[in-house]
Structure 1
């Protein structure tokens, strides 16, 4: 939208941050710490904010030697090249992550190399690269995938409610730009169906994440047809669209990360649903024995037993995400089916159990999955020959993982390549300023996080969270710096009154009756979990009501629905967690314990 002299603002802020994930929370917090009045908006409903940070492993890339870590990062980027100042800013930030966590997040940093005893976990994804030994991962607890970092980042925003207003379910529609100076003056947001023009006197920060859930962008920029998102469902490329409209240059649009089974896959789910991340024992179950994967033409297209590196497999000297297949299938025999059925995760997962296809021959199965019978029959024959000879000439799969098919019955289940996050978007500089197509900063426009992330090629785990913290801080501080005076009306010269919007952050109260107690926890995957626990005179559990929660709609919600009655029935908090929902189970139990701790 073009700014003009008769513009009527619906609200005025020093800084507007678009996107309440890890980068947005960081930018808003540091802008507020530099005396800015901040508006932080997110398209997601309350409790579902957090972007991909909420769903991540909560690991932040760090290092102990600037020069060595720089070598490692440059090798990860090669053969692509990046601005030297950008690399130096990034690497310097990673070297100081432990200090950052302690100073700004107020918690003790833990180094993964020190507390991870499972040697099968690859903390360094490319150990053969120069400088890799300097790399480490920092976390705020000794657990992974517990949303702990996200909860801390959000709490930093909540603590600053006097300086930060938060709006949920409020998409940003377009940026407001001065046609002469190209300065970004504000943003149009959509609140309760109404368009509001919000002034940003000092800066707008784009932290809207990538385009994981925008099918057109996926096809246009990545060249893929089907990718199952593993993180938030609310990253739809809004930041790319708004940045493009004001003349931003783009970079890294082709680059994205996968993770999960095989080369970064999941059992297929309906469009618009999150795929389920499975690693470790589940990956071993599908990648070894009498099983292989076929692509769209019914042939194998990769070494199933090769460990992926965030979806990248070795490809003639580099590591690349394999070419996307529209309908890949896992093919397996009766023996493997029994193994999969008996796996405690896979065997309880409906996208697997409800979609297994059975046939009495390879030719019959080929007809059912839409490939040429002769091709699938030949693929099966060649795989069995490789098993018998203990030599896979096509993909050099480890002989220890090869087992020939037995019996006539053969099965298939559809897979999908996963989408962890995209990396591309508007190009930024070391000051977190978004650049135009001529390399000049667009005045008052900043970005941080995965929207136009710095990762250009091969990826080391933890790098995205590191840039959320590093450039979130830089963007927030620079956006907060006072710019040219914008406190007078352009037409009359009169001083403009300050108008703010009503924040969605609020202090909630909950009623209790006799023998009832309120418990709270932030240890789940979503927002705060609040319960009301009723006990009898002997302090036995009689009822557990969940008053507030925002766990994921799949297995997290299952824990919320099933565990309370189980705790009451067994009269203990220490019941088995719901499979696949360990964080949600832990958060609910913690809330109940908090309530019980208040009994006198």
Structure 2
């Protein structure tokens, strides 16, 4: 932290500083303005203007709508048995969730956008991740705001702009300005135009700067993951976690039982910061994934996107071990190569924001060497550093399962058992890809940040994925809606705070 002694003069004085301009930050700004239009607000955002929006901009845009508070609580409690969410927080969260739908619909209307019942990707009315835990009763339906991609973010952004809330872009948060004894927060240090500036927050500071998924060292040291890559914004590099630790906050959910958002099969070009997501809607199935030994290790074509790449092992839902099996290769034939793009055009920073090209039939990627090509499986194995004998035997065993109509080894959906038979043959390395991280400071649903003794740190609030309440499994559409309700709650609580007075005042 930085003390008041570090400040010789304030560059700016506002009522509330909102740090981070994604779903939570935008929701906080909208709620703060609507609560008190006379309040002086400022959003500071680390990314340049063209790259603002955080993970919200490139997520699946799913919004969980629930009509049954008791069922929703029971469902989330069942998903959190490995690390239970406190009952008072669960109660408050569920209450706000069942009352959120009208606000989302208003956000869409005010942005001249369409609120859609459904995901926007498929004909499904609702994504039910864990029905045996109560998903069917808890989830009324899945919703979104069009267009796909980025409709939710575009609607939030339009609402912030409509209200005229100022935003500083290219302005990363450097530190909080605090009393080292009481931990009371008075403002923030921000770097803007290469200069550090002190901004006074008369009422409060709201941190909504996202997680640490784009920081490789934090992934290793906080989660034990190596060689992983973000699917979302490359600007989430753990700034909030570091600052909250310095601020004296009690941390939680830094290391859940599994990655709540999942570890997905990505495809990363060598020089990119972020990863594409392998196309889970690919219409051809003549492919398998193999681990570092050249062997299959899970049911690849089962609809794992519906459980955020969790599968059931030993009676529990756990991450598909793409990270421990790494390096993983997708092995496929000419039929799959011609069937369509191996990657999705949505749901990733690479596709949506950077708009990196990918050829329709994957031929450009073959030509570039990203996808390796050979006339035989044995020759292909040599190109990717695997044993020709082992890989050939694995493909033969898989093809035999296709002929038998049953995958006894990995339990793959029989409808997707298509042999790898049409040469030439191909391989592409998969990157374990991360949606987000949820660790941060312990908080309540109004975003109050708590210290190691269980007391709220004065004038400090937190919202969104940073410090998320989710402690293990996650239901589709919960992260964005949690960002909305915590952003709104933090805004109301921040504005209700009595303004701080300096000694001179």
* TM-score under structure 1 length normalisation: 0.73
2:302 equivalent to 1:302: no
Match of 2:351 in 1: none
**Structure 1 gaps, min length 5:** 496-600
SS at structure 2 position matched to 1:247: coil
1:348–1:365: structure 2 CA closer, same or farther, 3 Å change rule? closer
1:411–1:155: structure 2 CA closer, same or farther, 3 Å change rule? closer
1:129 to 109, 119, 133: 133
CA contact (8 A) 1:247 1:436 kept: yes
Match of 1:2 in 2: 2
SS at structure 2 position matched to 1:422: coil
CA contact (8 A) 1:219 1:225 kept: yes
1:278–1:391: structure 2 CA closer, same or farther, 3 Å change rule? closer
1:116–1:281: structure 2 CA closer, same or farther, 3 Å change rule? closer
Match of 1:276 in 2: 276
The Cα of 1:118 is off from its aligned counterpart by 5.1
1:345–1:131: structure 2 CA closer, same or farther, 3 Å change rule? same
Q: Report the Cα distance in structure 2 between the residues aligned to 1:470 and 1:153, rounded to whole angstroms.
A: 13
CA shift digits 1:315-367 (9 cap, x unpaired): 23222222214321111234443445799975158556632212344343223
The Cα of 1:104 is off from its aligned counterpart by 6.1
Match of 1:438 in 2: 453
CA contact (8 A) 1:111 1:136 kept: no
Q: Report the Cα distance in structure 1 between the residues aligned to 2:217 and 2:372, rounded to whole angstroms.
A: 30
Q: Report the Cα distance in structure 1 between the residues aligned to 2:410 and 2:493, rounded to whole angstroms.
A: 51
The Cα of 1:182 is off from its aligned counterpart by 1.0
2:480 equivalent to 1:479: no
2:92 equivalent to 1:77: no
**Structure 2 gaps, min length 5:** 344-357
| 127-136 vs 202-211, greater mean Cα deviation | 127-136
The Cα of 1:194 is off from its aligned counterpart by 0.5
1:117–1:347: structure 2 CA closer, same or farther, 3 Å change rule? closer
The Cα of 1:439 is off from its aligned counterpart by 2.5
CA shift digits 1:237-293 (9 cap, x unpaired): 11111111112222222353557xxx83232323543333454532x43xx23x210
2:331 equivalent to 1:331: yes
Match of 1:417 in 2: 432
1:408–1:240: structure 2 CA closer, same or farther, 3 Å change rule? same
Structure having the higher Rg: 1
SS at structure 1 position matched to 2:420: coil
2:405 equivalent to 1:404: no
1:22–1:455: structure 2 CA closer, same or farther, 3 Å change rule? same
CA contact (8 A) 1:426 1:435 kept: yes
Q: Report the Cα distance in structure 2 between the residues aligned to 1:310 and 1:98, rounded to whole angstroms.
A: 23
Aligned ranges for residues 216-227 of structure 1 at < 5 Å?
A: 216-227=217-228
Match of 2:379 in 1: 364
CA contact (8 A) 2:105 2:115 kept: no
The Cα of 1:133 is off from its aligned counterpart by 2.6
Match of 1:36 in 2: 39
1:347 to 354, 358, 361: 361
Match of 1:574 in 2: none
CA contact (8 A) 1:190 1:196 kept: yes
CA contact (8 A) 1:62 1:96 kept: no
SS at structure 2 position matched to 1:243: helix
Q: Report the Cα distance in structure 2 between the residues aligned to 1:123 and 1:337, rounded to whole angstroms.
A: 29
Of structures 1 and 2, the one with the larger relative CO (CA 8 A, separation 6+) is: 2
Match of 2:175 in 1: 174
1:314–1:460: structure 2 CA closer, same or farther, 3 Å change rule? same
The Cα of 1:20 is off from its aligned counterpart by 0.7
SS at structure 1 position matched to 2:50: coil
2:467 equivalent to 1:452: yes
1:269–1:292: structure 2 CA closer, same or farther, 3 Å change rule? same
Alpha-carbon RMSD: 2.8
CA shift digits 1:71-117 (9 cap, x unpaired): 1121222232011111111111110112222456655985626x989
SS at structure 1 position matched to 2:166: strand
Match of 1:314 in 2: 312
CA shift digits 1:426-482 (9 cap, x unpaired): 221233111223332221111111111122212111101111110101111111223
Q: Report the Cα distance in structure 1 between the residues aligned to 2:376 and 2:106, rounded to whole angstroms.
A: 63
Q: Report the Cα distance in structure 2 between the residues aligned to 1:180 and 1:258, rounded to whole angstroms.
A: 37
Match of 1:428 in 2: 443
Q: Report the Cα distance in structure 2 between the residues aligned to 1:408 and 1:172, rounded to whole angstroms.
A: 53
SS at structure 2 position matched to 1:173: strand
CA contact (8 A) 1:72 1:132 kept: no
CA contact (8 A) 2:331 2:425 kept: yes
Q: Report the Cα distance in structure 2 between the residues aligned to 1:140 and 1:340, rounded to whole angstroms.
A: 26
Q: Report the Cα distance in structure 2 between the residues aligned to 1:144 and 1:30, rounded to whole angstroms.
A: 23
* TM-score under structure 2 length normalisation: 0.86
1:480–1:414: structure 2 CA closer, same or farther, 3 Å change rule? same
1:387–1:455: structure 2 CA closer, same or farther, 3 Å change rule? same
CA shift digits 1:390-419 (9 cap, x unpaired): 332221223332233337753211222222
| 310-319 vs 189-198, greater mean Cα deviation | 310-319
